[in-house]
Amino acid sequence: EGPSATYNIPMALRLTGELDREALRLALTDLVMRHESLRTVYPVHENSPHQHVLPGGPVELPLTDTTERDVTRLLHAEASRTFDLSGEPPFAVRLFRLGRQAHVLSLVIHHIASDGWSN
């Protein structure tokens, strides 16, 4: 199908209260370290894709300040992203800050990393 968001599985979690962003980033890093499928890419070699597991490392947790009014649009943009599976892990995360005690965590996973049939 080419570059498309058709096979994305988006999730948004509203987080209220004090947020320890570094603890959240470390938890996401731990998750990716434990699950190779979240750091597997599929480069093409001799006209055929093959699996290549990337080494683990710290997960980046980009932070975007926004408002309640704009967060839906931004979440839709995250859900609509395309993954270049030949070199990009099939997992993306972004944190939206709505206020000091209000955040939304966006997680987007390509189905290749989340369903049992694709790996």
Q: What's the predicted TM-score (pTM) here?
A: 0.90
Burial class from Cβ neighbours inside 10 Å (0-12, 13-18, 19+) for residue 37 reads buried
Tell me which fold the domain 8-113 belongs to.
Answer: Chloramphenicol Acetyltransferase (3.30.559)
pLDDT, averaged per 10 consecutive residues of the chain (119 residues), comes to: 84 97 98 96 92 94 98 97 94 97 97 73
CB atoms within 10 A of CB 103: 20
- Quote the distance between the C-alpha of residue 83 and its chain's center: 10
| Of 54, 52, 53, 56, the residue nearest 26 (C-alpha) | 56
